[in-house]
Structure 1
Amino acid sequence: MSDLIQHLTDQTFTEAVAHGTTVVDFWAPWCAPCRELAPITETLAAEFKGKISFAKLNVDDFTPLSEQYDVLSMPTLVIFKDGEPLDRIVGSLPIDQLRTRIQQVI
């Protein structure tokens, strides 16, 4: 994984989403659609570098956080702005659709 996407924990989550716009990928290693989405989020992280932060949270390791944000299916991308969830994208969408949804928030 590149350094464009931060791996979050329960200790780093709040600070990571507190300022600016952050896209958090709630994922699990066993989730095939999550693995399909990974290179897409890498590409988007490079495209939006300096404008939006990208992060991942392993729901198996940090279940209470995924429950707090009502993550019931994976992958789920939650777009945060200054600590508040603004949008949620469930499932693995094509890159053009993801890019459009993210651009609508910024």
Structure 2
Amino acid sequence: MVKITEDNEFKREIETGVVVVDFFATWCPPCKMLAPIFDKLSLEMEGKVKFTKVDVDSSTNIASEYNITNVPAIVIFKNGKKKEMLVGFRPKESIEAQIERYL
């Protein structure tokens, strides 16, 4: 299970390396479909990439700062800088290919 990051720890979580953040909402069906894929990728890419999740309903400041208007949204960060955003449900292979570009 991927850790859910809160407002006070987000900047620290994304500051070094490649970090993939799943912006989700508990009421969102596509978010629920994406969750097991995100968990599987986190296990397969452990040691190379950090994975974390942000609940947009409880962390509205983070969602607003990164212009998250639709969920699910996966944002790829490298050394604290936003590199790419994938909006909507995507298959595992598609997400993995996008992450690989930043390794």
1:34-92 C-alpha deviation (Å, 9 max, x unpaired): 00000000110011000000000000001111010000110000001111001111011
After TM superposition, the score normalised by the length of structure 2 is 0.97
Distance between the aligned counterparts of 1:17 and 1:86, measured in 2?
12
Distance between the aligned counterparts of 1:37 and 1:87, measured in 2?
17
Q: Percent identity?
A: 35
Distance between the aligned counterparts of 2:18 and 2:94, measured in 1?
18
Q: Which runs of 5+ in 2 are unaligned?
A: none
Distance between the aligned counterparts of 2:95 and 2:16, measured in 1?
21
Match of 1:9 in 2: 6
1:78 aligns with 2:79: no
1:60 aligns with 2:57: yes
Q: Which runs of 4+ in 1 moved over 3 A?
A: none
Quote the RMSD (CA, aligned, Å): 0.7
Counterpart secondary structure, 1:37? helix
Match of 1:21 in 2: 18
Match of 1:45 in 2: 42
1:15-35 C-alpha deviation (Å, 9 max, x unpaired): 000011100000000000000
Q: Which runs of 5+ in 1 are unaligned?
A: none
